[in-house]
Amino acid sequence: MPERGQLGKPISRRGLLKRAGILGVTGPALALSRPATARPAREPILAYVGTYSSPQGPEGSAGRGQGIYLFEMNPATGVLTQREVFSNPDNPAWLALDTSRTHLYSANAIQTHEGLRSGSVSAYSLEKSSGRLTLLNTVSSQGAGPCYLSLHPSGRHALVANYHGGTVAVLPILANGALGAATDIQHNPTAIGPTHATSAPPGSFAISGHDHSHAHMVLPDPTGRFVLTSDLGTDQILIWKFDAENGKLFANDPPAVALPPGDGPRHFAFHPDGRWLYSLQEEGSTLQIFDFDPTRGSLTARQAISTLPAGFAGTNFTSEVVVSPHGRFVYAANRLHDSIAWFAVREGGSLSYGGEEWTRGDYPRSFTIDPTGSFLYSCNQRSDAITTFRISRQSGGLTFTGQYTPVGTPAIVLFLT
């Protein structure tokens, strides 16, 4: 997408490179000094960054991270400063915190654990004042390549989605915060969707995941009564009733909702009011808006909208969807197009396209909005850096702050609040 100046006129390639050079020298310094007079100083906020750290990293490439990184964020400027690294050589590429913020859990995206074809999940105790982590234990994720981890609102169970294994597992959280052996393992359906996405832009060859079942995300609904799982390979969001007493999943009625064939649902996010769900399709490059019935656990399709600008042609893979803390905007990341698009939430939860911003890096694996709602952090997997953007509270638009934070193959930023 072309860069534009203040008057909306395209900037030449030479002008763009010149401006980028100026930002490269002055951007971080300006970001550090400018807001000092704009808002009062506040205490730093701690953040963890999960990475790919194994020779067998994402998409067959080597991971260049060292494990789980600890940063402190300046809430006035958004600047991240590294404090420590907690070694984990097994791709701790997704992280989750318990509600008390005393324990952290990592889904380790490996193919083999203790000689079996499975990934693993690690539990850490957390010192809130310093952010230091201490490993408690590591257990099987009950499927290869775990890619997503969430905690049930009861605080008694961790839920893990195994991408390559096509399974979802329930892991009990013990009294000391460590993990127990799985209380339930569900194998996703095997009816595979077509390799070409129904909603893909012209010329797309985004056919990454329609070879078998791929559980890509698992998350409880806000009430904790239901658990939802997206399966990229079968083009479905599965809906389970959850027995929180025994850690068991039971098929809901209806048990699933279908997405357009081949579109590949990846991640989804609930609106803060719990009535709407936004599903992001990796190969279709779309957001599907659903009405959610919290009494029945059912999803009803309302609207579909592209994550790409009008006229785009070629291949793109989406990665992450996030709703702003106040619920006014929805953001979605595009890989290959390397942008983050934003949408305004309208009456009834529908979306209108607001714009998009270049990530200043290659292949944004995920992104996170900080607890103040002021900054967005993009994990640019193939560029080995996190880039920082200031969020407009009025429009939802993004402005690059000039800050690049070096991290090898970053996958997720998680704030300790």
Assigned token pair, 28: 């971080």
Mean pLDDT of 232-251: 97
Ranges of beta strands (E only) in 3-66 are 45-51
Dihedral pair phi/psi, residue 150, rounded to 5°? -140, 165
Reduced to 3 states, what is the DSSP secondary structure of residue 16? helix
Residue 10 in this model has a pLDDT that exceeds 60: no
pLDDT at residue 319 in the model? 98
The reported pLDDT for the residue numbered 3 is 41
Q: By C-alpha distance, which of 341, 336, 303 is closest to 320?
A: 341
Q: What percent of the chain stands above pLDDT 70? A: 90
pLDDT higher than 60, residue 17:
no
Q: What is the pTM of this model?
A: 0.89
pLDDT given for residue 188 in this prediction: 86
The pLDDT, as a whole number, for residue 375 is 98
Confidence of residue 207 (pLDDT cuts 50, 70, 90): confident
pLDDT at 213: 96
| 8 A C-beta contact, residue 233 and residue 250 | no
59 — pLDDT class (breaks 50, 70, 90): confident
What pLDDT is attached to residue 122? 98
Provide the residue count of the chain.
Answer: 417
The pLDDT value recorded for residue 208 is 78
The model's confidence at residue 22, banded by pLDDT at 50, 70 and 90, is very low
At 151 the three-state DSSP class reads strand
Q: Tell me: pLDDT of 294 over 50.
A: yes
Query: Following DSSP, what letter does each residue of 81-140 receive, concatenated?
Result: EEEEEEE-SS-EEEEEE-TTSSEEEEEE--SEETTEE--EEEEEEE-TTT--EEEEEEEE
Residue 189: the pLDDT is 84
Query: Could you give the angle at the alpha carbon of 158 between the alpha carbons of 157 and 159, nearest 5°?
Result: 120
Q: Rg of the Cα trace of the chain?
A: 20
Summarize the confidence of residues 304-328 as an average pLDDT.
97
* Position 29 pLDDT exceeds 60: no
Residue 25 has what pLDDT?
35
**pLDDT reading at 244 higher than 70:** yes
Confidence of residue 209 (pLDDT cuts 50, 70, 90): confident
Structure confidence at residue 26 (pLDDT)? 34
User: Coil, helix or strand for 271?
Assistant: coil
Residue 341 pLDDT: 98
What's the rounded mean pLDDT across residues 118-131?
Answer: 97
Q: Are strands 410-416 and 364-369 parallel, antiparallel or unpaired?
A: unpaired
Look at residue 32 in the predicted model and tell me its pLDDT.
Answer: 31
- Residues 54-66, mean pLDDT to the nearest whole number: 93
- Predicted local distance difference test score (pLDDT) of residue 114: 93
Give the per-residue pLDDT at 30: 30
Q: With 90 as the cut, is the pLDDT of residue 18 above it?
A: no
**What is the predicted pLDDT for the residue at 7?**
36
CA-based nearest residue to 223, from 165, 294, 271: 294
370-391: b (≥16 Cβ within 10 Å) or e: bebebbbbbbbbbbbbbbbbbb
- Contacts by 79-84, CB closer than 8 A, 24 or more apart: 79/28, 79/31, 79/32, 79/388, 79/403, 80/47, 80/377, 80/386, 80/388, 80/403, 80/405, 81/44, 82/405, 83/46, 83/131, 84/131, 84/132
CB neighbour class for 63 (10 Å; exposed up to 12, middle 13-18, buried from 19) = buried
Instruction: Give the Cα separation of 384 and 363 in Å (integer).
Output: 10
State pLDDT tens for residues 399-409.
999 999 999 99
Q: Please answer whether residues 319 and 366 qualify as being in contact, where contact means their C-beta atoms are separated by less than 8 angstroms.
A: yes
Partnered with residue 290 across adjacent β-strands are 277, 301
pLDDT at 131 over 80: yes
pLDDT confidence tier of residue 190, bands split at 50, 70 and 90: confident
CA separation for the pair 154, 379 (Å, rounded)? 30
Given this model, what pLDDT does residue 285 score?
A: 98
pLDDT of residue 5: 40
Q: What's the pLDDT band for 35 if we cut at 50, 70, 90?
A: very low
User: Quick one: 6 exposed, middle or buried, by C-beta within 10 A (0-12, 13-18, 19+)?
Assistant: exposed
Q: What is the mean pLDDT of residues 142-166?
A: 97
Q: Which pLDDT band holds residue 109 (cuts at 50, 70, 90)?
A: very high
Q: What is the mean pLDDT of the chain?
A: 91
Task: Give the pairing of strands 226-231 and 236-243.
Answer: antiparallel
Q: Which of 19-33, 230-244, 290-304 has the lowest mean pLDDT?
A: 19-33
Selected residue with higher pLDDT from 44 and 135: 135
- Residue 228 confidence (pLDDT) above 60: yes
Which pLDDT score, from 0 to 100, does residue 33 have?
31
Residue 13 pLDDT > 80, yes or no? Answer: no
Predicted pLDDT at 60? 83
Query: Which is it for strands 410-416 and 80-87: parallel, antiparallel or unpaired?
Result: unpaired
